[in-house]
Amino acid sequence: MTPENLLPALADYVLQHGLSDVSLRPLAKAIGTSDRMLLYHFGSKSALIAALLDYLARNYAEALDTAFPQAVAASRKECVMQVLAIVRTDPFRPFMRLWWDIIAGAASGNDAYRESAKVIAEQLLDWFEAHMPQDDPDPKQGAKLLFTLIEGALMLDVLDQGHLADAGIAAAEL
């Protein structure tokens, strides 16, 4: 049993229970081992978290590609709405909870969190750029705009206020 083999189970647990309050003993129990073993494999809790964040970031891109349809939107507005519709489905909810944990950690100065979030954000931005409407006049900057909107909308979703973002986007030119 190598550390790498443990990562999927660890990721499952963390997706379900959050990252900020995780502690070794319950985590170990949930995946059928002991805190002693997690420390043996990873050296320390922070190293475990770092490996876990790396794993999540590495696996996020492919999760995106499998979950998102290849449909190309006709307009920027349609593109945003498509992505939002998908990202709001149940399978993505655990990841969103984790996402805000990571952002909060990064905001508090945790560099490992920030770096991991950066990787994920970059991948998402790249994905966005590749999925812009074919006739978009400026896909590169457009992707940045849509990405910013999406993140703002996801934040409002946390407050059950996603409809505000929807309304603002629906009424906009973009």
The footprint of a copy of itself (CB under 8 A) covers 18, 20, 96-97, 99-101, 103-104, 106-108, 114, 117-118, 121, 125, 138, 141-153, 155-156, 158-161, 164-165, 167-174
Question: Token pair for residue 20?
Answer: 């900020």
49 near 111, Cβ under 8 Å?
A: no
Within residues 43-102, the interface with DNA by CB under 7 A covers 44-46
11 is a site residue for DNA (CB under 7 A):
no
Q: Is 110 left (phi over 0), alpha (psi -120 to 50) or beta?
A: beta
34 is a site residue for DNA (CB under 7 A):
yes
C-beta closer to DNA: residue 22 or 121: 22
Among DNA, a copy of itself, none, the one that 114 touches (CB under a kind-dependent 5 to 8 A) is: a copy of itself
5 is a site residue for DNA (CB under 7 A):
no
Give 119's contacts (C-beta < 8 A, 6+ positions apart).
57
Question: Token pair for residue 68?
Answer: 């998102």
- Identify which of 68, 66, 85, 4 has the alpha carbon closest to the alpha carbon of residue 41: 4
30 is a site residue for DNA (CB under 7 A):
no
Separation CA 96–CA 174 (nearest Å): 25
Among DNA, a copy of itself, none, the one that 59 touches (CB under a kind-dependent 5 to 8 A) is: none
127 near 64, Cβ under 8 Å?
A: yes
Among a copy of itself, DNA, none, the one that 26 touches (CB under a kind-dependent 5 to 8 A) is: DNA
Separation CA 123–CA 128 (nearest Å): 9
Specify the stretch interacting with DNA by CB under 7 A; choose among 40-48, 82-90, 133-141, 161-169.
40-48
C-beta closer to a copy of itself: residue 42 or 99: 99
The dihedrals phi and psi of 32, each to the nearest 5 degrees, come to 80, 35
Which residues contact DNA by CB under 7 A?
Answer: 1-2, 22-26, 33-37, 39-40, 44-46
